[in-house]
Structure 1
């Protein structure tokens, strides 16, 4: 029951009530349309939910809720494909306040245009789980399977992991093999809900939620609140469960004492097929414990309605033909928008149950898979998907494990594709940067003058000045007159030269060498190790080198010389150096295919034990970053009073592989 206040419960039971409905349509394109009671055509709206069929109580159901409504609206119907419709019920309380109750989130599947109206039909998010699951072989707890389906179908899970793990079968590791009738994620949820002893619904917030049948009433329905009602004269109760073992082709039957009620037939549940008989019995008896609380009186009633009620709610009825001392359960509920509410509880009469149902083996449609595949030559395939995330580091991690068998000597092929989110260790780089540096220097300037004076007697005199030299030669002139010869020399001023100059500057080249350091993204090395029937394949060990980021690892290996009628195991281990990686849920898919393949055979008595340790030091400081070794174990005694275990081999520790004697009791 949706949690509401006491004031709401009082107001919803009163002789008169004041309420109204509103809704919102959000298209895939982001357009939002609001509507209220005025836009809803009277009598056209309804919401239908159920957790069982029309005849008997069922376990593991995954029914989708349906909503239909007609609106006075001119919205273009072509824009409403996969649009989301949200409905809210508003109740006015005695003090005048309004309390809101969400009625669910639905996705439009049909939108029909009438003359003035828009007719909508929508379903909740349960239809998203009709996505093909493709068949897989994997191992995980119930929560792992649920989380994997929710991730693929983009639906949020309302229950927490701790809540699921705390259930009787919640912490048990489950296995499912390819040879089953699983087609969609919805099928997976059906089988998981059976194991958990409950059923799945989409709650009012649009989240997937697991619910169980209970025995604590949430409300009493008085006679004045019912328009009509019909009650059975028997009590539906279960005292046994039956589960068909596909391997042995017989039905395993588990009952309470006394066994005088109905038998819940679980059919062929892939999660309840393989493993020890004790484990299957434990799972089935835990389911029977959840079923034993069912002691419901089947009924059918039209009431004034309480929109807070949900499928699975336990009720009591009073007045009229109702027995106040008995409880019943809502297995289907139909709420008319603005009208009455129809409630129903289905169930069979234990007194009319056929005795043969307890021994019903449910094997009429079972065929021997190995023989069938061998005769027809059909190629079988075993697929694997990881249901939990893996961290890849320096220690080997078992990423893939597939068991298979063949009816004849044959060869198989292994394929896998893994998405790895890599974080490579950064690498520091250094180098010498060399080159030539040119250094400019400024230039200088200078000037000089020179003069020369011609002297007498035909001599010349030179004077120098400044930085320049000027040579001036005097000019001699001779004049002759009469008997007297007289020579005279005229003053002659020698020519003068003057000059000036300036330097243009110079450059100097210098060779330089400098050290440079920087960090860059390194390269992580991913190592792959194949293992077939506990023997490591040494001749083929793929290695990939990656930078940081998401990468695809594609693997292939041909498996030769398959022994007939023997359970084989193919494992794949990953480890990385110079970095780490993450493989998220569902990011690893693998398969083994070949002719005459079949599901794994019965347990052959082999036990596999793995142990891990954290980093520790030996002696004077020899560090060991974790180690793992395989030890052969023999059980001398297998009785309830105890047993003794000794190790037939010695474990090597560290790089020196020094043998260490180990004893265990």
Structure 2
């Protein structure tokens, strides 16, 4: 519910009310056209919004709100393409003043001119996310994905990094599974919202906001405020979730201890494919915890209206055929300018849908098959910013595999903001100075036409100045943990933004194993920065697969703080038993015991180890 004053909450409960609507149109050129309540054709204005379909509750949705209005206006309709429309409702308070409630910001998609009126249809900023997304190798937490999407589509995020990371699953590292149906940034938001257990919408300030279903009611809708209403005789509850695992081709089922409600089918979420089984379980159980608070009675009601109500608000109803002890959630809402307000909550009957929901856990995903001879493309976009200095920084990392021996090509483009070191320059200026014979600069004459001879002096002066230096960008390619020594691309730049183009062919790719291609960048005589989304790269070739079966390799990286050599290093004793088993008819095993290490006083002191095999 939009934050309003207590005086407004008191006024909206009265039997009579006084209000009016205003708005403003701002063209792309910056010209503003304000309009008042009398400029709106009666019965023409509306705002509709929803967070679910027409039959059941959903999570991960990214619906856009629609606004329609007809104005008595002579604005040139050709200037209204992508113009911004802002609407506000002004409500009279008991003290006689008016409280303004913003109703949203919309962008014009259609403008039709009639004889005396102008008809507009507009949508909120959610449509800006309908841009092509190619960051299929993006890695980061939920906030990194949201920052990437909002930055690419020019929409402000309503949450801070701390707010997102404090949510369940908000701090988990996510990666896009290559076998996916992501096409736009809006699709990315859909899957991120699923992981966070909510839905996305554009709020009244034009910012992207994540909302979750709750249990605490924000308002009671009394019988005297409803023109008509209908309520279901069941309560919608969720006690399980199902998520398809593409790698194992099975649907994983997670339920509460008492599983007697509906099952939310998450389908194939590419952000839930990587990681250990325990990690997937934790992610899905956190989603289930958010869904378990749902206990709503579906309804459909036409009311006198409250402009402060929003999607996701939990309500209680009193009077008439209602049960005042139950709650419901607004999943769709329609504001009519100068008219009624329609609100609705959808939901399924657990008793009727139980058989189908139990069947959801047996759904298995289909793996995309690789056809030999077809060109496959594997892409990458960085989800976090990099600062480049004199040490190598990994800016691109791509994993790929092929079903047969082939050759592939790597292409990359990096936008680098360079700050070169200023350089002091020295030089000498040489020249000749002519000095007249007289100190006052005039020549004496003795009656003849010839003047006295002047003196010419050769002069050399030192000159110093500071100018922008040349920073050098040095690229290192690493293929399967082996540095490519024969080719190190390099560029020299002045300060400013520059594009670094990269290319490298890879021959004789071994089939059916996972290959890793990494790009490292360092700067000499300056520093550089790469913003989020500044790196785009791709590997293409025939018979390419998104990922191969795990080859048993585990990469572990660890950094340590600086220490002084010569002061002595202390080794910590440890003991470990390592076992390896091979799934064969005859079982084999191997074990190794490592004894304590002695303290090391310097790097030259020998280390004694005891080994048993």
TM-score over 0.5 (shorter chain): yes
Residue 567 of structure 1, aligned match among 509, 514, 518: 514
2:70 alignment counterpart = 70
**Alignment partners' CA distance in 1, 2:120 and 2:595:** 70
Q: Offset of 1:154 from its aligned partner? A: 1.0
Residue in 1 that maps onto 2:384? 388
Task: Using the TM superposition, give the Cα deviation of residue 39 of structure 1 relative to its aligned residue in structure 2, in angstroms.
Answer: 1.4
Please name the residue that 1:460 is paired with: none
SS in 2 for 1:9: helix
CA contact (8 A) 2:84 2:108 kept: yes
The Cα shift of 1:618 comes to 4.5
2:484 is the alignment partner of 1:537? yes
Give 1:170's aligned residue: 170
Mapped partners of 2:288, 2:307: distance in 1: 32
Q: Hey, what does 2:555 align to over in structure 1?
A: 608
In the alignment, the residues of structure 2 paired with residue 595 and residue 362 of structure 1 have an alpha-carbon distance, to the nearest angstrom, of 34
Q: Aligned runs of 1:516-555 on 2, under 5 Å? A: 516-555=463-502
1:510 match: 457
Rounded Cα–Cα distance in structure 2 between residues aligned with 1:182 and 1:336: 35
Q: CA deviation at 1:445?
A: 7.8
Distance 1:647 1:257 in 2: 46
Q: Distance in 2 between matches of 1:662 and 1:217?
A: 69
In the alignment, is residue 426 of structure 1 matched against residue 422 of structure 2?
A: yes
Range with bigger deviation, 269-278 or 585-594: 269-278
Deviations 1:226-257 (A, max 9, x none): 11111111111111111111122111111110
**Residue in structure 1 matched with residue 248 of structure 2 by the alignment:** 248
Which stretches in structure 1 are left out of the alignment for 5+ residues? 448-499, 621-632, 650-656
| 2:224 corresponding residue in structure 1 | 224
Q: Assess, with a 3 A threshold, how the Cα gap between structure 1 residues 369 and 444 changes in structure 2: closer, same or farther.
A: closer
Question: Is the contact between residue 51 and residue 63 of structure 1 (CA under 8 Å) also seen in structure 2?
Answer: yes
Alignment of 1:365-444 (within 5 A): 366-370=366-370, 373-374=371-372, 377-442=373-438
- Distance change in 2, residues 1:284/1:645 (3 Å): farther
Structure 2 CA distance for partners of 1:645 and 1:617, relative to 1, 3 Å? farther
Cα separation, 2, equivalents of 1:527 and 1:647 = 44
Deviation (angstroms), 1:364? 6.9
1:315 alignment counterpart: 315
Deviation of 1:129 (Å): 0.8
How far apart are 1:100 and its partner, in Å?
Answer: 0.3
Distance 1:659 1:263, change over 3 A: farther
**Partner Cα separation in structure 1 for residue 80 and residue 99 of structure 2:** 29
**Matched-pair contact (CA < 8 Å) for 1:155–1:207:** yes
Q: Deviations over 1:294-339 (max 9, x none)?
A: 1111111111110000000111111222111111100001111111
1:277 aligns with 277
Q: Where does residue 121 of structure 2 map in the other structure?
A: 121
1:272-304 CA-partner distances (Å, limit 9, x unpaired):
112212211111111111111111111111111
Counterpart of 1:471? none
Counterpart CA distance in 2 for 1:78 and 1:299 is: 42
Cα gap change, 1:249 to 1:525, in 2 (>3 Å) = same
Partner residue of 2:523?
Answer: 576
Does structure 2 retain, via aligned residues, the 8 Å contact 1:275–1:603? Answer: no
> Relative to structure 1, is the Cα distance of residues 660 and 313 closer, same or farther in structure 2, using a 3 angstrom cutoff?
farther
CA positional deviation for 1:576: 0.9
Whole-Å separation in 1 of the counterparts to 2:528 and 2:351: 60
**Which digits, 9 at most, give the CA deviation of each residue in 1:360-391, with x for residues without a partner?**
36767724433xx22xx211101001111110
Cα distance, 1:532 vs structure 2 = 1.1
Q: State the alpha-carbon separation in 1 of the partners of residues 596 and 149 from structure 2.
A: 44
- Give 1:134 shift: 3.4
Give TM-score scaled by structure 1 length. Answer: 0.83
Which residue of structure 1 aligns with residue 504 of structure 2? Answer: 557
Q: 5 Å matches for 1:52-131?
A: 52-131=52-131
When residues 270 and 648 of structure 1 are mapped into structure 2, their CA distance, relative to the original with a 3 A threshold, is farther
2-structure distance, mates of 1:238, 1:98: 42
When residues 648 and 343 of structure 1 are mapped into structure 2, their CA distance, relative to the original with a 3 A threshold, is farther
Pair 1:175–1:505, CA change in 2 (3 A) = same
1:538 CA displacement = 1.1
Change (3 A) 1:31 1:513: closer
- C-alpha separation between the residues in 1 aligned to 2:189 and 2:166? 18
Aligned counterparts of 1:204 and 1:269: Cα–Cα separation in 2: 29
Query: Is the Cα–Cα contact under 8 Å of residues 274 and 602 in structure 1 kept in the other structure?
Result: no
Aligned 8 A contact 1:445 1:502 in 2: no
Aligned twin of 1:454? none
Task: Tell me the residue number matched to 1:48.
Answer: 48
The secondary structure found in structure 1 opposite 2:108 is: strand
TM-score where L is the length of structure 2: 0.90
Note closer, same or farther for the CA distance 1:446–1:364 as it changes in structure 2 (3 Å cut): closer
**Is residue 587 of structure 1 aligned with residue 583 of structure 2?**
no
Any idea what SS the aligned residue of 1:163 has?
Answer: helix
State the Cα distance separating 1:509 from its structure 2 match.
2.9
Deviation of the 1:428 alpha carbon: 1.2
Quote the Cα distance in structure 2 between the aligned partners of 1:573 and 1:553. 12
Matches within 5 A, 1:331-342: 331-342=331-342
| CA gap 1:159/1:542 in 2 versus in 1, 3 angstroms | same
> What stretches of structure 2 of length at least 5 have no aligned partner?
568-573, 581-591, 598-602
Aligned to 1:464: none
SS at match of 1:441: coil
State the shift of 1:359 in Å: 4.4
The whole-number CA distance in structure 2 between the counterparts of 1:215 and 1:638 is: 50
Is contact 2:108-2:123 (8 Å) kept? Answer: yes
SS at match of 1:38: helix
Deviation, structure 1 residue 121: 1.1
Q: Which moved more, 1:535-544 or 1:11-20?
A: 535-544
Assess, with a 3 A threshold, how the Cα gap between structure 1 residues 29 and 647 changes in structure 2: closer, same or farther: farther
CA distance in 1 between partners of 2:103 and 2:270 (Å): 35
Deviation, structure 1 residue 616: 6.3
Alpha-carbon separation, structure 2, partners of 1:319 and 1:446 = 122
- Give the match's secondary structure for 2:351: helix
When residues 117 and 368 of structure 1 are mapped into structure 2, their CA distance, relative to the original with a 3 A threshold, is: closer
For the 8 Å contact 1:135–1:182, the answer to whether it is kept is: no
Displacement, 1:108?
1.2
Alignment of 1:133-152 (within 5 A): 133-134=133-134, 136-152=136-152
Q: Distance in 1 between matches of 2:596 and 2:66?
A: 63
Q: What are the Cα deviations for residues 529-571 of structure 1, in whole angstroms up to 9, with x where unaligned? A: 1111111111111111111111111111111221211111111
Q: Deviations over 1:570-609 (max 9, x none)?
A: 1111111110001111111000011111222354443323
Structure-2 separation of matches of 1:523 and 1:151: 30
Partner of 1:300: helix, strand, or coil?
A: strand
